[in-house]
Chain A
Amino acid sequence: MKDEKKIDTKLIESLLKNFAESSVTKLSLKQDIMEIKAKKSSKVLYKRNTVIQHEKTEYNNEMTKTNTTFIESDRVGRYFSVNPPDSPNRIKNGDFISKGNKIANIVSMNVVYDVIAPFDAVIIQCLGEDGKMIEYGQALFEVEANGGK
Chain B
Amino acid sequence: MFKKILIANRGEIAVRIIRACKELGIKTVAVYSKADRDSYHRMLADEAVCIGEASSIDSYLYIPNIISACELTKAEAIHPGYGFLSENQNFVEICQAHGIKFIGPSLTTMLSMSDKAMAKKLAKDAGVPVLPGSEGALKDSAQARMIADEIGYPVIIKASFGGGGKGMRIANTGDEVEYYFEIAQNEALSSFGNSDVYIEKFVTNPKHVEIQILGDGKGNAVYLYERDCSVQRKHQKLVEESPCIVLNNKQRLEISKAARDLAAMIKYEGAGTLEFLFENNNFYFMEMNTRLQVEHPVTEMVCGIDLVKEQILIACGEHKGLDQNNIIQKGHAIECRINAEDAFNGFLPDAGKIEELLIPGGFNIRVDTFVYTGFTIPSHYDSMIAKLIVYGKDREEAILKMKSALSEFKVEGISTTIPFHIKIMENSEFLSGKYTTRLLEQNI
Taking Cβ atoms with an 8 Å cutoff, the residues of A that contact B are 75-78, 108-109, 133, 135-138
Contacts and interface: CB of A to CB of B under 8 A. Distances in A.
Given A76-B65, A109-B98, A135 B49 contact: yes
B393 interface: no
Given A75-B64, A109-B67, 9 more contacts: A75-B68, A76-B68, A76-B69, A108-B64, A133-B72, A133-B73, A135-B69, A136-B50, A136-B51
A137 B50 contact: yes
A108 B67 CA distance: 9
Contacts of B52: 136-137
Contacts of A76: 49-51, 64-66, 68-69, 72
A53 to B, nearest CB: 35
B1 to A, nearest CB: 24
B50 A108 contact: no
22 contacts: A75-B64, A75-B68, A76-B50, A76-B66, A76-B68, A76-B72, A77-B72, A78-B72, A109-B64, A109-B98, A133-B49, A133-B72, A133-B73, A135-B50, A135-B69, A136-B34, A136-B49, A136-B50, A136-B52, A136-B59, A136-B65, A137-B50
B71 interface: yes
Interface in B42-89: 49-53, 59, 64-69, 71-73
Which of under 10, 10 to 19, 20 to 34, or 35 or more describes the interface residues of B?
Answer: 10 to 19
B34 A108 contact: no
B39 to A, nearest CB: 15
Contacts of A137: 34, 50, 52
Interface in B126-179: none
Contacts of B53: 136
A109 B50 contact: no
A109 B51 contact: no
B65 A75 contact: yes
A136 to B, nearest CB: 5
Interface in B11-57: 34, 49-53
Contacts of B66: 76
A132 to B, nearest CB: 9
A75 B52 CA distance: 7
Contacts of A78: 72
| A-B pairs, 5 with minimum CB distance | A135-B50, A76-B68, A76-B65, A108-B68, A133-B72
A110 to B, nearest CB: 9
A138 B52 CA distance: 10
B129 to A, nearest CB: 45
**Which of A108, A109, A138 has the most CB atoms of chain B within a 10 A radius of its CB?**
A109
A25 B98 CA distance: 66
A138 B65 contact: no
Contacts of A109: 64, 67-68, 71, 98
A138 B65 CA distance: 13
A114 to B, nearest CB: 16
Contacts of A138: 50
A133 B29 CA distance: 14
B38 to A, nearest CB: 15
Nearest to A106: B68
A77 B71 CA distance: 9
Nearest to B31: A76
B50 A77 contact: no
Contacts of B73: 133
A77 B64 CA distance: 10
Contacts of A135: 49-51, 69
A9 B71 CA distance: 80
Contacts of A133: 49, 72-73
Contacts of B71: 109
B352 to A, nearest CB: 23
A129 to B, nearest CB: 14
A77 B68 contact: yes
Contacts of B67: 109
**Which of A108, A133, A136 has the most CB atoms of chain B within a 10 A radius of its CB?**
A136
Contacts of A77: 68, 72
A39 B49 CA distance: 63
Contacts of B50: 76, 135-138
A109 B67 CA distance: 7
A109 B98 CA distance: 9
